[in-house]
Amino acid sequence: MDAPIIALAARVKEIKASPTLAVDAKAKALKAEGADVLNFSVGEPDFDTPPHVCEAGKAAIDQGFTRYTPVPGILPLREAVCERLATDHGWQYRPDQIQVSCGGKHGLYNMAQALFGPGDEVLVPAPYWVSYPPIVQLAGATPVIVPLDEKSDFDLDPAVLQQYAGPKTRGIILNSPSNPTGSVLSAGALEAIAQMALAQGWVVISDDIYDTIVYGAAKLPHILDVDPRLQQQTLILNGVSKSFAMTGWRIGYTAGPKHIIAAMNKIQSQSTSNPSSVAQKAALAALTGSQDFPITMRDAFVPRLDFMIKALTAIPGVTCVRPRGAFYVFPNLSAYYGRETPGGKEINDSVALADYLLEEALLATVPGVAFGADQFIRFSFATSMAILAEGMRRLAQALAVLK
């Protein structure tokens, strides 16, 4: 084929398409061709959006609520976000400190565009969610990866953080509970991050998208609870994708200092204008109605989590930190690297292993390298117990035949 006439911008060459969405698309395509693929890849609740939320979306259409909305989102929705933050966490925000965006990912994108640029470094603890580094890079800044250790349940070690921080550090991205590990940051780690952020003037981005999916009774420690002064330099990211099984509606929100939200609104006004009017009404119903749904969903995940941990750690050589939240397990399968498939292919990394699992066991998973941790593979357990059981059977068998 001829070389294309139109060249692409340099920034596109720097990043890859989202690997989670790519594996999901591949699994769905194979399934459509009739293959019996079990999809453990994309992180999306297997629940339907609750009926009262869908009804609110339908009513919005019927009532003609189908025009542009204010750039930061409709006022009642921003008020509802403030109400949730106050009721659920005791944090005080005003509506002009809230931006509603087209999903949580878009909120992160707006933040990075508003805050970071060439020469800036942003600390990203790894394993990280796949989109953090590219979102930082798309703003022209540099993600600086801070390794977390499986042996300490992927908690952040302040001494390690110190090694990666420097004069160019502008901020840090926290995600507790984490995608992909399900781990949470300890009070001690948050205390240390808070001290560094206050001393150095870092912005703290706290991605709380999994904060309704927490296992165990205790309330999670949070950076904002460490020191109230941090509210001046923290951005809270959340949304309804995970909590209300609304991934396709595309509604996320950010709470933060007014001048940063105003800057993010400027960017949103020149890009998406506003999130979907209909989806905003549905999200309003989610945030103002009964809060039972996230609890029901979380409770349904508990036996699946128990099953996954038991099944994975029963496989020789496999270790797996028990998640404290979210709906992923992130087993370390590196004991199988250096072995060969029955077909003679060598398995040397997480991509080769994930490819083998997809091709030979029809198991769609996400290789750990996508999260900056090549010894691991991510499995989402937001799927039925029958699929989990069959999946773990196939995994054990596929690993057992490696030579």
Count the neighbouring beta carbons within 10 Å of the beta carbon of residue 307.
15
User: Considering only 49-57, 100-108, 350-358, 374-382, which stretch makes contact with ligand PMP by CB under 6 A?
Assistant: 100-108
The distance in angstroms from the start CA to the end CA of the chain is 41
Q: Which one of ligand PMP, ligand GLU, none is in contact with 239 (Cβ closer than 5 to 8 A by kind)?
A: ligand PMP
Shortest distance in whole angstroms from residue 332 CB to ligand GLU: 19
User: Considering only 5-13, 50-58, 97-105, 196-204, which stretch makes contact with ligand PMP by CB under 6 A?
Assistant: 97-105
Return the residues of window 178-207 that contact ligand GLU according to CB under 6 A.
179
In the shown chain, the binding pattern of residues 286 to 325 toward ligand PMP, with x for contact by CB under 6 A and - for none, equals ----------------------------------------
Which of 19, 50, 73, 104 lies at the binding interface for ligand PMP (CB under 6 A)? 104
Count the neighbouring beta carbons within 10 Å of the beta carbon of residue 198.
16
The three-class DSSP label of residue 284 is helix
Which of 158, 163, 225, 230 minimizes the C-alpha distance to 201?
230
User: Considering only 16-24, 117-125, 166-174, 332-340, which stretch makes contact with ligand GLU by CB under 6 A?
Assistant: 16-24
Long-range contact list for 29-36, CB < 8 A, 24+ apart? Answer: 30/358, 30/362, 30/364, 35/362, 36/362
Shortest distance in whole angstroms from residue 346 CB to ligand PMP: 31
Return the residues of window 43-62 that contact ligand GLU according to CB under 6 A.
43-44
The nearer residue to ligand PMP, 175 or 265, going by C-beta atoms, is 175
Q: Contact 341/360 with Cβ under 8 angstroms? A: yes
Q: Contacts with ligand PMP: how many residues (CB under 6 A)?
A: 13
User: Considering only 15-23, 150-158, 284-292, 298-306, which stretch makes contact with ligand GLU by CB under 6 A?
Assistant: 15-23
Return the residues of window 212-251 that contact ligand PMP according to CB under 6 A.
239, 241, 247
Q: Which amino acid is residue 3, in one-letter code? A: A
Count the neighbouring beta carbons within 10 Å of the beta carbon of residue 193.
24
Neighbour order of strands in the sheet with 328-329: 328-329, 377-380, 366-367
The secondary structure element, H or E, covering residue 379 is strand 377-380
Kindly list the residues in this chain that would bind ligand PMP in the complex (CB under 6 A): 43, 103-105, 129, 175, 179, 207, 209, 239, 241, 247, 252
